[in-house]
Amino acid sequence: MAIKTAPRPNLRWTDYLYLPSILKGLKITFSYFAKTLLRKNLYTMEFPEQKWMFPKRYRGYPMLVQGDNGVENCVACKLCEVVCPPSAITIRIGHYNNPEVKERIPAEFIIDMGRCIVCGMCEEACPCEAIVMSNAHVMSSGSRSGLIFKKTLLLDDYHQIPTMRD
């Protein structure tokens, strides 16, 4: 196979200085600067005071759902644990205290939010619709152990979760 050499483009002396490219970048920067001076808060939002409005189809972090009777819908089938790509879900199977009820429940349901990639596969795999993707988007913690959410927290509302600011 023959080696084909490409001809070198003829550059002007201004192209070697990169001056036109720098001036073009400065022009864009100053145009945004001028727009921001004329209209306040054009590109930014004061986050804790003002909240972003997300569409209804926004996929936030997973949470567990309770039925009308106050019992969680999860039957500990472990499909969500199997289908989770980063293995962020851990379920330990338990049973009701009543021996007449043969249904299983999760004795322990843990989601490691530090590993969760918010893909929604757990919601799709769940046959009981026990997991839904909430609209929560702020999860912060000072340590990794603060990102491990247990069943009681997953059944509660995410707006009660303390953040780094609290």
pLDDT tens per residue across all 166 residues of the chain: 788 898 988 888 777 788 888 999 999 999 988 887 877 656 677 777 877 788 888 888 899 988 888 788 899 999 999 999 999 999 999 987 877 777 888 999 999 999 999 999 999 999 999 999 888 777 778 888 989 999 988 888 655 554 433 3
Model-level pTM?
A: 0.66
| Residue 27 covered by a domain | no
CA distances from 123 to 54, 129, 157 (A): 19, 7, 17
CATH number for 128: 3.30.70.3270
Cα torsion through 84, 88, 94, 95, rounded to 10: -50
In a domain, 107, yes or no: yes
Structural domain including 142 reads 66-158
Query: How far is Cα 84 from Cα 131, in angstroms, rounded to an integer?
Result: 12
Does residue 30 sit within a domain? no
If you count them, how many residues does the chain have? 166
Note whether residue 105 is domain-resident: yes
